[in-house]
Chains A and B, each alone.
Chain A
């Protein structure tokens, strides 16, 4: 199985990098740099901060490699370091826009407004680059509190507990922000996916 081979190979690369093999470490960096850059960009919403966060995350991961026990995937471990770096920069740049407290919210905020059919395979109506632009746009529109939780839980597939630890909030806060993030993103994507806006087709 390719994924099993990739995992075994990753294990060897990590072991070599731990012994100071820089080319093994660079191979690991090359594998994950795009994903780590996307993560940093999604959290900070700023290219310059994303680049700095990515760079520092890789430097830090190298110097802390001895602490990586191999009980989780290397990538998950890397994501936690990168998320911290990105969060630090977001908080510095926008101290008032990120809070550890629960935002004031009412149940009414949750009630769906967009209730139009998307039709089958809505994403197939867009070219890959167009789709990427839509996704970055809707995620950027989300408040940082919600954005971070969505990025870590749904895009990076961290557990609720791992997300809580990475962001420094409680598990219930992760769950409540994730609910809101998901509902808001569904609404925002609906603007692009509404079937009535679809062009073409036989009828």
Chain B
């Protein structure tokens, strides 16, 4: 397998969205190719970092406006 083909499948590989034969072939390629292996490991790490990141703080005034609007609009009896 060429690096170009392996890179094309990295996303599917990380999602486990591959048939067994292709998965084995990729695993073999990653075991032999340091560069592609680095890309897989770092891409997986990158996703983990995004998932674990704390959401930004909701600015206080944005939150006040949101709850004010919800109370105002939702407490009116619907027509």
Q: Using CB atoms and an 8 Å cutoff, list the residues of chain A in contact with chain B.
A: 22, 25-26, 29, 33-35, 37-38, 41, 51, 54-55, 58-59, 62-63, 107, 110-112, 115, 117-118, 122-123, 128, 131-132, 135-136, 154-155, 157, 160, 175, 178-179, 182-183, 185-186, 189-190
Contacts and interface: CB of A to CB of B under 8 A. Distances in A.
Given A29-B66, A51-B62, A132-B56, A117 B50 contact: no
Contacts of A29: 66-67, 70
A49 B71 CA distance: 21
B11 A58 contact: no
B66 A58 contact: yes
B62 A37 contact: yes
26 contacts: A26-B67, A26-B70, A38-B55, A54-B66, A55-B65, A58-B70, A59-B73, A107-B8, A110-B7, A110-B8, A111-B3, A111-B7, A117-B38, A118-B42, A132-B53, A132-B54, A135-B49, A155-B51, A160-B15, A179-B8, A179-B10, A179-B12, A182-B43, A183-B43, A186-B42, A190-B42
Contacts of B21: none
A194 to B, nearest CB: 11
Given A112-B7, A132-B53, A157-B51, A59 B74 contact: yes
Contacts, number: 110
A132 B49 CA distance: 10
A110 B6 CA distance: 11
Nearest to B12: A175
A183 B7 contact: yes
A118 B4 CA distance: 22
Is chain B's binding surface mostly helix, strand, loop or mixed? helix
Interface of B: 3-4, 7-8, 10-12, 14-15, 17, 35, 38-39, 42-43, 45-47, 49-58, 62-63, 65-67, 69-71, 73-75, 78
B45 A33 contact: no
Given A22-B75, A155-B51, A186-B46, A34 B39 contact: no
A62 B66 CA distance: 13
Nearest to A190: B42
Given A58-B66, A107-B4, A131 B53 contact: yes
Contacts of A175: 11-12, 17
